[in-house]
Structure 1
Amino acid sequence: MSEIDIWALLLGITHVVLGLLATVLVSRNRKPAEAIAWVMMIVFIPFLGVAAYLLIGFGRLPAHRRAKQREVNELMLRRTGGSWPKTHSPLWPNWLSSAAELNMALGALPMVGGNRITLNDDYLGTIKEMAEAIDDAQEHVHVQFYIGVLDDATAPFFGALARACERGVQVRVLVDHVASLMYPRRTETIRFLDSIGAQLHQMLPLRPWRGQWQRPDLRNHRKLLVIDGSVGFTGSMNLIEPRYHKAKNIQRGLTWHELMMRIEGPAVRELDAVFITDWYSETGTLLELRPPSSSAPTWNGNIDAQVLPSGPSFENDNSLKLFTLMIHQATTRVSITSPYFVPDESILLAILTTAARGVPIELFVSEIGDQALVHHAQRSYYEALLRAGVRIYLYRAPKVLHAKHFSIDDEVAIVGSSNMDMRSFSLNMEVSVLLHGPELLNDLLAVQDGYRERSRELHLEEWLSRTLWQRTADNLARLTSMLQ
């Protein structure tokens, strides 16, 4: 046997062993379709496949960060004293109690009543509203956004932070580390926050030389603002001008359309608990966790709300479990709004099953996408949805519909930062709010009516007529979405 033959034999044996190891190791505690995608990649392109798996193949944060999450969860459960604050539970649909119990088990935060909540889908108007709320701060301002950039659009917000610091208010700011690197004015923003005396920390930093390392695409995608534990904001918007400073967006005329909530009442303290947990993870300092009392006389709203954090710091896919449960409970209507719709198998099955039961389902997505790979993966699901009777509305360009919410039977809704895709379910740290209250649901229905007016409906005949190239791109993109 020649030397070349020996090397070929050794490479062949190595390839077989690598495939067997991949089959055993990759499939451990992983969804079958996802495991098969990884194994195929490692078998057919072994060196690149192994490198990719070592880089992004692990879907949880390091053990010490997960331990901090468990520690704070235990503290949050103890502070409730085993009893839940007052809610309007007699008015709930019969399945909502079990959903609230599920969320409590997953995220350690209770359903609380007595909240007042308003919706705002005016981008610059929301920035102004948040700035005005910060101007009323007396004790602390907690700011947490995936992207935080000081620019002309966000200047009123940052100006309010400066005035708060001048009054002696504690201003704490969290922004995602990798997201900060992807946008301009990072240095100017950091310098400004430092100059006014705000405390800034970057979430999930990638600094291996400091021992700070995890899978690089595990990101903190939450968006929230809390003022004195009494006023809070959360939803889909980032702190940046509505075209994200990207030349391609400006050239195409793209602007983002968002939905944010202003919350007053006991749910604000639960939203603050999410910030406190992330602050503890990044700084090692545990701020005070206030009890979720609803006895304050100013908390006289009629909305029940439950904050649900999710992400790779938890052992479960929290939002995936809640979203799936809710869709299966629908009897009269489901309305979904998601800028990136790449559903997990269980979500897709829930939608198709619910549609087959005769429940009307509508999906609002953007006509055009700002992320080509995700947009093509999303399009690959349209045929199955349309055949099942789901009505798909394409929000007309050049607006990008970036809002993230859905409602069940016009009675219960979720609004938050989570997309209905596998990244938000498993890889991103997200925050969602489960909501019940007739007035709020009516406001959300009005928002959805506005989407419908500004959208065009996609029909199956049109979709089946797309080119072979478009079909191929969609299907290939769908395969990559499984590599989680």
Structure 2
Amino acid sequence: MAAFLIDLAIKIAALIIIPRHRKPTAAMAWLLAIMLIPFIGILLFLLIGSVRLPKRRREEQERIVGIVSERVSRSDAVVADAAGLPRWFQRVLEQNETLTALPAVAGNVATLHGDYQQSIDAMAAEIDRAERFVHVEYFIVALDDTTRGFFAAMERAVTRGVSVRLLADHIPSRKVARSKETFAELDRIGVSWSWMLPVMPLRGKYQRPDLRNHRKIVVVDGEVAFLGSQNLISRDYDSAKNIKRGLMWQELVTRVTGPVVASANAVFLSDWLIETGEQLDTEHVPAADVAVSTSPGALMCQVVPSGPGYRTESNLRLFLSLIYGATEKVILTSPYFVPDEAMVYAITTACQRGLEVQLFVSEIGDQGLVYHAQRSYYDTLLAAGVRIFLYPAPYILHAKHFSIDDEIAVIGSSNLDIRSFTLDMEVSLLVHGRSFVEAMREVEQGYRDAGRELTLEEWRKEPLRATFLDGLARLTSALN
């Protein structure tokens, strides 16, 4: 009798608590779990049911957004002149600034780096030119043969008297091989470093353990920045499992100069402040103090951070707004494509409006549940008219970017999945400029040439067992 009453109380409480401030799909998934397996379901909900950071961190994030708003200059010399842009796109820029306090700025130059080692070497070369400071922020940091030159460049910078600071996400960076050696090396060479989102309950540092900081940022002297998908680790992620399968990661990184670097730096300074309590006023470079490109191909750019510290999903709102604003084509690249309902509707509606819509994903997966959940959307997308291209094994296409029509692109750390929209701290770079999109088109063509197109006829020959696994994984993906 007591067990029955406890079970009933749990279910009634779940019906009251879970639907509040939660998307219907996520609420239904949690309620289903609790109804079917009440005791296990409620334990899981208590562990990973909250998508919000602790109250103290949320309040600190709001305070920091205010600081960012004051710091990031809206000088007439750098703020983007949106007068000639489509009205819908002007509204997207305004939306981004409302949500993140970071404005769109003009006079930038950006180039793409798709070679794994060369991108890391390019960052190391910029660090070797540093005179004031170097800011490094990564989801995963590891010292290995691929990154050794980067670490050596940081050591040389410290020796020259340059301030070098590094942020690494706690759980993934601790999990990689030889992590103790990595952070011992940072101590030896004199880099100031800190964990992001540490899970240390005995030290009073705890939040939902799978809320992670997934950003990848390098800023040198406030003049040059790198953003994209690539972590600071070897191409096989130093993983015995990956090496056994022969897996290698394919990435895309952008090098940016111009006033928008101030925004990328502001994101790092915000994360450093929230993790260490240290406000680095001397390492803030106002956008108005950064050299502006006056070349005809200069780009308008806007940095868009997102994550559970914000009141809403600024990355998801950006992506949806751009897809709905597109008039000709939408080309998406994401290693982990597990969209919410709004994203599925936006993509399929674009097809119904007569747009060309393409999606680049990996042929194989490195994370079983995500891989199967992603596959569960292929039938709907293919039936709507989306062209899906599979990047070939043994590569994991880990690049995260998309292009809209001929002048708009986004590149950054955010996947097109529920985790990146809700649980992870991400950073994206919105770019307006034909030359940048043309360069991205070349990257996209490289994906087509390397891989193959998946057809609806081929997909519908998938065995029933695979379809069952895909559907099951899709249900679990809603538990956020």
Partner of 2:96: 103
Partner of 1:171: 164
Q: Secondary structure in 1 aligned to 2:44?
A: helix
Aligned-pair CA distance for 1:78: 2.5
| Residue from 449, 470, 473 that aligns with 1:474 | 470
Partner of 1:284: 277
Question: Do structure 1's residue 66 and structure 2's residue 58 form an aligned pair?
Answer: yes
Question: Do structure 1's residue 182 and structure 2's residue 175 form an aligned pair?
Answer: yes
Partner of 1:46: 38
Q: Which amino acid aligns with 1:308?
A: V
| Residue from 104, 107, 114 that aligns with 1:121 | 114
The root-mean-square deviation of aligned C-alpha atoms, in Å, is 1.3
CA–CA distance in structure 2, aligned partners of residues 235 and 80 of structure 1: 21
Aligned-pair CA distance for 1:330: 1.1
Aligned-pair CA distance for 1:90: 4.2
Specify whether residues 81 and 158 from structure 1 end up closer, same or farther in structure 2 by C-alpha distance, changes over 3 A only: closer
1:238-249 residue pairs with structure 2 within 5 A? Answer: 238-249=231-242
Question: Do structure 1's residue 232 and structure 2's residue 230 form an aligned pair?
Answer: no
| Contact 2:316 2:421 survives alignment (8 Å) | yes
Partner of 1:36: 28
Unaligned 5+ residue runs, structure 1? 1-8
Question: Do structure 1's residue 328 and structure 2's residue 321 form an aligned pair?
Answer: no
| Contact 1:234 1:262 survives alignment (8 Å) | yes
Question: Do structure 1's residue 382 and structure 2's residue 378 form an aligned pair?
Answer: yes
Question: Do structure 1's residue 133 and structure 2's residue 126 form an aligned pair?
Answer: yes
1:293-372 residue pairs with structure 2 within 5 A? Answer: 293=288, 296=291, 302-372=298-368
Specify whether residues 454 and 88 from structure 1 end up closer, same or farther in structure 2 by C-alpha distance, changes over 3 A only: farther
Q: Which amino acid aligns with 1:357?
A: R
CA–CA distance in structure 1, aligned partners of residues 73 and 251 of structure 2: 37
Q: Secondary structure in 2 aligned to 1:89?
A: coil
| Contact 2:223 2:290 survives alignment (8 Å) | no
Partner of 1:3: none
Aligned-pair CA distance for 1:296: 3.2
User: TM-score with structure 1 length normalisation?
Assistant: 0.96
CA–CA distance in structure 2, aligned partners of residues 436 and 35 of structure 1: 37
Q: Secondary structure in 1 aligned to 2:13?
A: helix
Q: Secondary structure in 1 aligned to 2:181?
A: helix
| Contact 1:236 1:404 survives alignment (8 Å) | yes
Q: Which amino acid aligns with 2:417?
A: D
Partner of 1:202: 195
CA–CA distance in structure 2, aligned partners of residues 429 and 331 of structure 1: 30
Specify whether residues 297 and 362 from structure 1 end up closer, same or farther in structure 2 by C-alpha distance, changes over 3 A only: closer
Specify whether residues 295 and 374 from structure 1 end up closer, same or farther in structure 2 by C-alpha distance, changes over 3 A only: closer
| Contact 1:265 1:294 survives alignment (8 Å) | no
Partner of 2:261: 268
Partner of 2:13: 21
How many residues align? The count is 476
Question: Do structure 1's residue 483 and structure 2's residue 475 form an aligned pair?
Answer: no
CA–CA distance in structure 2, aligned partners of residues 473 and 299 of structure 1: 54
Unaligned 5+ residue runs, structure 2? none
Aligned-pair CA distance for 1:10: 2.4
Q: Which amino acid aligns with 1:329?
A: G
Question: Do structure 1's residue 256 and structure 2's residue 256 form an aligned pair?
Answer: no
| Contact 1:86 1:294 survives alignment (8 Å) | no
Question: Do structure 1's residue 413 and structure 2's residue 405 form an aligned pair?
Answer: no
Aligned-pair CA distance for 1:92: 2.5
- % identical aligned pairs: 49
CA–CA distance in structure 2, aligned partners of residues 345 and 357 of structure 1: 18
| Contact 2:73 2:286 survives alignment (8 Å) | no
CA–CA distance in structure 2, aligned partners of residues 278 and 299 of structure 1: 32
